[in-house]
């Protein structure tokens, strides 16, 4: 690379963004990260989220800057574009719970669509017209055929507000690229990213109950949750459980790097406009396939229980990935066993994710051997109700208010704070919240057939999505 390119990464402290940062820094790119820290952990007096500190340690490189702010804050965002001269933007910042999006659609439209509009306005104002957009296979809705290729229709029979936000953003990006030929936009439609970095130092660390299958399985394996709910065993699949396409997070990160190089280095007619690529493994696995692979590769038994299927769930989804193979010579390097092993390595090293200050807490069993049949027979509906009914409602205000300061940015930058008092956060208030967050709220579940194990209390639990 002739000169180091500077990339703005929105949502860079999150799961996908953080793993993509490793690829960027390891391949000579410089990065500025912005994140509102709504789904990341910042311990004590740390200058940035724990995930970013670990990325710097893993890569041996420093971020140019980290800013804690919401992308809906246009004034603060413009100050960042004044301070830095970006070559491109990688846009990950978004809310992503399918279930929550159906309950709170306005929140998702305001954050995902509204935030993207603000970002695009600022990019256009400062003539930064190269964008990698984190999209989703949810834009396809119910599949008309399998495997799904990039020409499959989008925007119809969408089953969640989250999926509609991704679809609306893609339509905006298409209109923008058609109106101005200087734009180079790549939309990457993920299927199901799973796994963790091979080091086991960073991984998926959802706040509250996981929305995705693999981190839920991992939390059951490490003893944080009693069992996995499998939603539906009456799908039209080989074993009756839903089939999805799972892609290792580092394969996905490598794909982002290739797409970025295409728009910032090639500078050809073919890189202009709006381009879209599927990212998956190119095959489907059922929920029970994933459970079996996890047990086989890690030697850890996973308790599970069948529940009714959820509204909107489809039988099976997987991607056709010929286009990305032909364009980038990309193909998945990691199989399902590696996805499971790397997820387990991360979770076993850090049972409470980034809130675990040191590697594995010894009081949490490394291998809780729970017979599936024993679990299913002993954890009946009454046991389930008793186990999952424990709540600490008096902590609700504290936890719900944590990291919700709306005027917080420039936590680690060189801009004169006196000139930007409108977007500085209240340091004392935030430090108090951070201190409170370090006090892990734990309790112990007991069952006559189960050993007691530590479990993090979350008063906003919901079923896995």
> 75: Cβ–Cβ under 8 A, 6 or more apart, which residues?
422, 423
Which has the minimum average pLDDT: 22-26, 104-108, 196-200, 354-358?
354-358
Residue 285, domain CATH: 3.40.50.720
Question: pTM of this prediction?
Answer: 0.79
Which has the minimum average pLDDT: 39-48, 367-376, 408-417?
367-376
pLDDT recorded at residue 358: 61
Percent of all residues in the chain with a pLDDT value above 70, rounded to a whole number: 75
pLDDT recorded at residue 410: 42
Active site (catalytic) residues:
162
* Nearest partner of 319 among 292, 293, 282, 369, judged by Cα: 282
In a domain, 464, yes or no: no
- Say how far apart CA 34 and CA 98 lie, in whole Å: 23
- Residue 407's domain comprises 6-456
Number of domains in the chain: 1
* Nearest partner of 411 among 435, 432, 437, 430, judged by Cα: 430
Query: pLDDT higher for 356 or 395?
Result: 356
In a domain, 186, yes or no: yes
For residue 296, pLDDT over 90 is answered with yes
In a domain, 225, yes or no: yes
In a domain, 374, yes or no: yes
In a domain, 463, yes or no: no
Query: pLDDT higher for 369 or 310?
Result: 310
Query: pLDDT higher for 330 or 452?
Result: 330
Q: Say what the alpha-carbon torsion angle 205, 210, 214, 219 is, to the nearest 10 degrees.
A: 70
In a domain, 430, yes or no: yes
- Say how far apart CA 150 and CA 140 lie, in whole Å: 9
For residue 2, pLDDT over 60 is answered with no
In a domain, 33, yes or no: yes
Q: ω before 147 within 30° of 0 (cis)?
A: yes
For the chain, give the mean pLDDT. 82
pLDDT band at 313 (very low <50, low <70, confident <90, very high): confident
For residue 173, pLDDT over 80 is answered with yes
């Amino acid at each position: 690379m002739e000169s180091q390119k500077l990339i703005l990464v929105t949502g860079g402290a999150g799961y996908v963004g953080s793993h993509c940062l490793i690829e960027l820094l390891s391949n000579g790119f410089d990065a500025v990260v912005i994140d509102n820290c709504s789904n990341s952990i910042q311990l004590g007096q740390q200058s940035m989220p724990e995930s970013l500190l670990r990325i710097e340690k893993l890569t041996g490189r420093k971020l140019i800057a980290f800013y804690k702010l919401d992308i809906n804050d246009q004034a603060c965002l413009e100050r960042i574009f004044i301070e830095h001269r970006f070559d491109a933007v990688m846009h990950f910042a978004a809310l992503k719970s399918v279930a929550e999006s159906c309950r709170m659609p306005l929140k998702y439209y305001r954050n995902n669509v509204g935030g993207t509009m603000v970002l695009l306005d600022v990019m256009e104002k400062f003539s930064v017209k190269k964008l990698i957009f984190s999209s989703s296979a949810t834009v396809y809705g119910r599949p008309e055929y399998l495997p799904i290729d990039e020409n499959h229709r989008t925007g119809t029979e969408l089953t969640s507000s989250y999926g509609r936000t991704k679809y609306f953003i893609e339509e905006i990006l298409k209109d923008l690229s058609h109106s101005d030929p200087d734009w180079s936009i790549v939309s990457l439609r993920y299927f199901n990213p799973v796994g963790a970095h091979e080091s086991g130092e960073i991984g998926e660390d959802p706040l509250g109950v996981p929305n995705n299958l693999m981190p839920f399985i991992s939390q059951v394996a490490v003893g944080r949750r009693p069992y996995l709910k499998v939603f539906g065993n009456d799908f039209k699949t080989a074993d009756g459980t839903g089939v999805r396409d799972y892609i290792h997070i580092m394969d996905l990160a490598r794909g982002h790097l290739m797409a970025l190089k295409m728009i910032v280095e090639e500078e050809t007619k073919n890189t202009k406009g709006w381009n879209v690529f599927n990212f998956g493994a190119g095959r489907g696995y059922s929920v029970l396939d994933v459970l079996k692979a996890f047990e086989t590769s890690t030697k850890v038994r996973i308790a599970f229980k069948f529940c009714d299927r959820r509204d909107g769930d489809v039988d099976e989804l997987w991607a056709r990935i010929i286009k990305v193979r032909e364009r980038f010579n990309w193909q998945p390097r990691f199989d399902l066993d590696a996805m499971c092993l790397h997820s387990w390595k991360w979770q076993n090293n850090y049972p409470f994710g980034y809130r675990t200050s040191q590697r594995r807490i010894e009081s949490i069993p490394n291998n809780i051997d729970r017979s599936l049949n024993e679990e299913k027979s002993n954890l009946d509906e009454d046991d389930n109700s008793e186990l999952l009914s424990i709540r600490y409602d008096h902590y609700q205000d504290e936890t719900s208010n944590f990291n919700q300061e709306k005027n917080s940015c420039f936590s680690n930058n060189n801009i004169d704070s006196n000139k930007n008092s409108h977007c500085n956060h209240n340091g004392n208030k935030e430090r108090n919240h951070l201190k409170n967050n370090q006090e892990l709220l734990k309790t112990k579940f007991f069952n006559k057939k189960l050993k007691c194990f530590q479990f993090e209390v979350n008063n906003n639990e919901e079923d896995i999505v």
